[in-house]
Structure 1
Amino acid sequence: MSASNPVPLSILDLSPVSEGSTVAQALRNSIDLARHAEAWGYRRYWVAEHHFVAVASSSPVVLIGAIAAATETIRVGAAAVQLGHNTAVGIVEAFGTLDALYPGRIDLGLGRSGQRRAEALAAVASGAPEPVARPVEVRDGLVIPPPFSPATLLSSSRLAASFGVLQQPGAQAPEFDSQVGDILAFLQGTFTAPDGTDLHATPGENADLQVWLFGSSAGPSADLAGRLGLPFGANYHVSPGTTVDAVDAYRAAFRPSAVLSEPYVVVSADAVVAEDDATARELASTYGHWTHSIRSGHGAVPYPDPTSAPPLTDEQRAVVDGRLITQFVGSPDVVAERLDSLRRVTGADELVVTSVTHKHEDRLRSYELLAREWGLRKLRAA
């Protein structure tokens, strides 16, 4: 591995349901992968919250508990809990319970959901212009595509219906910074209700949780993480065109806190590793189909089988090109070099990798090969 200053690697698992498989199998695969990840030297194992799609991670807190019970030392957490669908006290009590059972191993990642969609819809309604198109940039080996326009997603009736049933009728998501503040207050035992009543979360108060904020752009999440002095997760695997801006905004806003004396950034990447480039490309050949189902507003479909999926049309490829050219696919040395470019350009303190393949054994092998190439066991021993 060519990195002169390697950083830890972690895993972001979406618990994908493969075409022809089941939710139960996807969950068993996640637990199996977590056990292997711990043995291979990965630092954290995070799961993502998604709803009404062909992934099995819709209830992060339940899945985190199952993974923590099946492992011993690896940190386990959410990347991220969608605040727009949850109350502050509900989150604190749930993750406080996890910490009580698996002390010192739980990460609480927080992300915007309903708040972000409301802001985007308001921008569209106000006639705000779309971002100015720019060409693909390659910076020190890192591909930075133009930002993806969410216009199609925002107009999706399916997405609107999903948000509608994830909240109580008539409910509105609180402001993100306010909800994060309430979560921190409950954890610290300083929460006061609007009428002045002191309320204490049990479990939750004084829990040894590591709190993270996640974001895809130079927006409220990056700014708030910096101002609060919390670690920040930047989603290159979701929005590669805006990740560098998000990291820069976080560092510009950073203020030292009791948690961190200096910024700490983890950056995500999609990667598929195999013994040789051709095999890796074949394993990743239906990633575009899967991503198109997401970007077109239909939600993630069961992960397609490369042996039977038809080629993408030109129209489909145009929708997902930014994700295809930023997926890291190849032999271990090729993927490690591209990850090192991501580390150099963003200054990441840690990288989190998400690998999706149709067959579970190929996903296991991808992570195993990467761990060996990156030198994770040596890194952990040091």
Structure 2
Amino acid sequence: MSVPLSVLDLSPISEGSTARDALRNTLDLAQHTESWGYKRFWIAEHHFVATASSAPAVLIGLIAAATSSIRVGSAAVQVGHHTPASIVESFGTVDALYPGRIDLGLGRSGQRRAEALAAKKSAPPPETTRPTETREGVVIPPAFSPAGLLSSSRVAAAYSVLQQPGATAPDFAVVVDEIRSLLAGTYETADGVPLTAAPGTGADVDLWLFGSSGGQSAQLAGALGLPFVANYHVSPGTTIEAVESYRKAFRPSAAYPQPYLVVSADVVVADTDTEARRRASTFGQWVHSIRSGHGAVAYPNPDTATPLTAEQKHLVADRLDTQFVGAPDTVVERLSALQRLTAADELVITSVTHRHEDRLESHRLLARAWGLDGLRAD
């Protein structure tokens, strides 16, 4: 039996459209994917770029209101931009109205940037680049270092606006501990004063950690017995390392006696391989806008976009090589290989195209080919 499929959405803004269009498209996609049998609908958090997912808790509440059964959550809240109390109160508010359907995913944003800046100052020797390899049908490219991107002036400017003056992101483990304590109703301040989040304490949310390497996020998720999401769609070169680190660190918890692993993938499906490649043909331009430090641009139109140069292609080669593009059977074969290699309990797909109709069709065709309950193949 195939593992469940879930959806990760960035609420992308396409060329010629608006944030309002993107948000309406996200609600429409959530309603359709619920009817097609997808298990979860997650929202990424991004700021000051051409996506409309900058306020995940607000958007999650709107999606929960527009749907009835699909789990809705964050992928992931960037904890460097929020306090543990604000996170718990926001998600507790949504859970109070839509109990038992909310996933609270957490990512290390601010701490990762601090580490990148420290690494840049220490000027470590360049890493040896290994060649791209294929393991059991899955492409494993060289690891991409985000240090240059995270230390760019544009990212620095965004962080300066997203944090209070003089604020620094605390250690991720400390944030996760405080969030767990607030949810459990056991939180006390440093001087012993108990505080209760209302709403928030006792909220029936599932806590998830997201990671792109075998570092702190994977290890912490394992040590706490939490579910973990390995971001193949962001950092395909380090996904296997992340998976192995999580499993090695795993200690059973009351909620998860066994590891629970989700792996992400970029997907575009169409009726034919040729048409799918056309619809995905500007993915490289979009990723390049991110990797070059300019931030995600409005998603380019395949009919008018300027082709990438050889230098630009080199910067995004790992993401192009690991995007799952093709007819339904083509994509199912590759996704199945990713699931087998990682032994993932669930896959979460993200699909970005210029036209919303193409994105809907991509999810519908995949649901049918994968055999989801809502759209089983004839």
For the superposition of Structure 1 and Structure 2, which TM-score range results when normalised by the shorter chain? over 0.9
Instruction: Give the corresponding residue for 1:265.
Output: 261
Q: Deviations over 1:307-351 (max 9, x none)?
A: 001211101100001000000000000000000011011110000
Q: CA RMSD in A?
A: 1.1
Instruction: Give the corresponding residue for 1:245.
Output: 241
CA contact (8 A) 2:113 2:151 kept: no
CA contact (8 A) 1:188 1:206 kept: yes
Determine the C-alpha separation between the residues in 1 that align with 2:126 and 2:204: 42
Work out which of the residue numbers 84, 92, 104 in structure 1 matches 2:100. Answer: 104
Residue 379 of structure 1: CA displacement?
9.7
Work out which of the residue numbers 143, 154, 158 in structure 1 matches 2:154. Answer: 158
Determine the C-alpha separation between the residues in 2 that align with 1:275 and 1:85: 41
Instruction: Give the corresponding residue for 1:50.
Output: 46
Residue 130 of structure 1: CA displacement?
3.3
Q: Does 1:228 align with 2:213?
A: no
Instruction: Give the corresponding residue for 1:348.
Output: 344
Instruction: Give the corresponding residue for 2:363.
Output: 367
Which SS does the other structure have where 2:214 is aligned?
coil
CA contact (8 A) 1:10 1:352 kept: yes
The one-letter code matched in structure 2 to 1:358 is H
Q: What is the aligned-residue identity percentage?
A: 67
- The answer for unaligned runs of 5 or more in structure 2 is none
Q: Does 1:210 align with 2:206?
A: yes
Instruction: Give the corresponding residue for 2:294.
Output: 298
Instruction: Give the corresponding residue for 2:177.
Output: 181
- The answer for unaligned runs of 5 or more in structure 1 is none
Determine the C-alpha separation between the residues in 1 that align with 2:267 and 2:351: 5
Residue 363 of structure 1: CA displacement?
0.2
Instruction: Give the corresponding residue for 1:15.
Output: 11
Work out which of the residue numbers 65, 71, 75 in structure 2 matches 1:75. Answer: 71
Q: Does 1:254 align with 2:270?
A: no
Determine the C-alpha separation between the residues in 2 that align with 1:117 and 1:290: 22
- Normalised by the length of structure 2, the TM-score is 0.98
Determine the C-alpha separation between the residues in 2 that align with 1:174 and 1:154: 17
Q: Does 1:192 align with 2:188?
A: yes
Residue 271 of structure 1: CA displacement?
0.4
Q: Deviations over 1:247-296 (max 9, x none)?
A: 10000000001120010000000000000000000000000000000000
CA contact (8 A) 1:277 1:331 kept: yes
CA contact (8 A) 2:7 2:42 kept: yes
Determine the C-alpha separation between the residues in 1 that align with 2:311 and 2:178: 45
Moved more, 79-88 or 115-124: 115-124
Instruction: Give the corresponding residue for 1:145.
Output: 141
Instruction: Give the corresponding residue for 2:36.
Output: 40
Q: Does 1:167 align with 2:163?
A: yes
Which SS does the other structure have where 2:64 is aligned?
helix
Determine the C-alpha separation between the residues in 2 that align with 1:102 and 1:135: 47
Determine the C-alpha separation between the residues in 2 that align with 1:65 and 1:177: 27
Alpha carbons of structure 1 residues 250 and 346: separation in structure 2 relative to 1, 3 Å? same
The one-letter code matched in structure 1 to 2:224 is L
The one-letter code matched in structure 2 to 1:30 is T
CA contact (8 A) 1:130 1:149 kept: no
Which SS does the other structure have where 2:34 is aligned?
helix
Q: Does 1:319 align with 2:322?
A: no
Residue 378 of structure 1: CA displacement?
7.2
Which SS does the other structure have where 1:241 is aligned?
helix
Determine the C-alpha separation between the residues in 1 that align with 2:280 and 2:37: 24
Residue 53 of structure 1: CA displacement?
0.3
Q: Deviations over 1:167-198 (max 9, x none)?
A: 00000111100010000000001101001011
Residue 51 of structure 1: CA displacement?
0.4
Which SS does the other structure have where 1:42 is aligned?
coil
Determine the C-alpha separation between the residues in 1 that align with 2:143 and 2:165: 33
Determine the C-alpha separation between the residues in 2 that align with 1:209 and 1:72: 16
Instruction: Give the corresponding residue for 2:90.
Output: 94
Which SS does the other structure have where 1:242 is aligned?
helix
- Normalised by the length of structure 1, the TM-score is 0.97
The one-letter code matched in structure 2 to 1:346 is T
Residue 125 of structure 1: CA displacement?
1.2
Q: Deviations over 1:62-109 (max 9, x none)?
A: 100110000000000000000011000110011001100001000000
